[in-house]
Amino acid sequence: MKLLVTGGAGFIGSNFIHYILKKYPDDWVFNLDKLTYAGNLDNLKSIVKNKKYKFFKGDICDKKIVNKLVEQVDAVVHFAAESHNDRVNLNPEIAIQTNFFGTHNLLEAALKYNKKRFHHISTDEVFGHLETRQGFFSEDTPYHPRSFYPASKAASDWWVRAYFRIKGLPITISNCSNNFGPYQHPEKVIPLFITNLIENKKVPLYGDGSNIRDWLFVEDHCSAIDLILRQGKIGETYNIGTNYEISNLELTKKILKLLGRGDEMIRCVQDRPGHDWRYAINASKIKKDLGWQPKYNFDEALAATIIWYKENEKWWKKLKDKKFQEYYDKNYSKT
C-alpha cells in the first residue's frame, strides 16, 4: 500500500509512520507536513534513508501539492491539524484554515483521483465533556464542542461524512482520547510537566486539577488506526480509548513521584477558559468489530515516556517556546 500521511512530522503522525514502516516494510509512505512549530523532522531522523519514505514540505491548504500527492497514493491518513487549545483560543482562524479548509482540499483531491481511501483522525473533544463520573462517549454521542479547536474538528468530521454520503468517498473516522508518548511537543501537559521538572521548574496545574482524562499511549493509537484503515467498515466511525481515567492532579503526582519530586513543584494556575471536565471513551466497537486491544499499561508507558524525555533532552530543549512560556506566566497567575 502507498500512503499519504498528512502532518507526519508531528507527534502522532511521526509515530504512525515509524509504526507502518516497521510493520509493513513493503509499504510506501509520503509525508506532507507544513513544519509549523508542531512539525519536527528530527522525529523521523532514523528513517530518512528508507527508500520507501518520502517527505514533502507543504500546506494541506495548497491544492497544487495536495493534488500532486493524492494522485500517486492508495490512501490518505489525515493527521494534520492545529490541535493546541490555548494557541487556537488566541487565534481561532488557524483552526478554520487548517482543520476545515485543509481537510476539504484533501477530500476533493481524494474524490478527484478515483475516490481514494480516506481515514480522518479526530478527537474525543468534539463530544464536549461529561459532567459526572458516569457515562462514556460512544460513536453515537451527539457533538457538543465547547471551544474553538474541537469546534473546528467537529466541522471537519461532518464534512468528511458528507463526502461519504453525497459523493461516495470511502472514508472512516476515528475519535481518540488523550495521547502521550515519545516525540510529543513539550507544550502538551505530560511532556511539559516532565521537561519542566527535568529543568527544575514548577509544573502549571490548571485550576484544582480535578479535570479527568482517558489516556492512550501513542503506539496503541497507531495500531488502532492501522486496523481501521485496513479492516474498518467504510463510512463508519470508531472510538479509540483505554478506559484508563485519571484526574490531572493524580497524573501530576504520578509524574512527580517518578521523577523523585514533591508537591512543592506544583504551581496552581487559573483554569483554562472552556476547560472540559471529563473525557471518557467507550471503545467497545473497535474491540468487538476489529479485535483491537491496547497493548500498553499506563504506568509502564508513562515511566517509559519519562525515560525517553530524559534521554532526548537535545530534541525537546530546542522546542521549548519562550513566547508561549511567557504566555503561560502572564495569563495564568497563582490561584
Enumerate the active-site residues. Answer: 124-125, 149
Backbone angles phi, psi at 306, to 5 degrees: -60, -45
DSSP H or E segment with residue 5: strand 2-6
CA distance 137 to 281: 5
All residues at 6 or more sequence positions from 54 whose CB lies less than 8 Å from its CB, including other chains: 28, 29, 30, 31
Closest CA to 195 of 82, 108, 311: 311
Q: How many helices (H) and strands (E) does the chain have?
A: 13, 12
Nearest-10 crossing angle of helices 248-258, 189-198: 30
Q: Which three cell numbers stand for residue 286?
A: 473497535
- Count Cβ atoms below 10 Å from residue 39 Cβ, excluding itself: 20
Nearest CA to 66 among 112, 99, 27, 26? 112
Check the CA dihedral 188-190-191-194 and report its sign. positive
Element (H, E) at 147: none
Tell me the torsion sign for CA atoms 314, 263, 178, 37: negative
DSSP annotation of 99: I
**All cell numbers assigned to 183:** 516525540
Measured CA distances, 34 to 7, 21, 61, 77, 156 (Å): 7, 21, 10, 16, 19
Q: Quote the CA–CA distance of 202 and 281 in Å, as a whole number.
A: 31
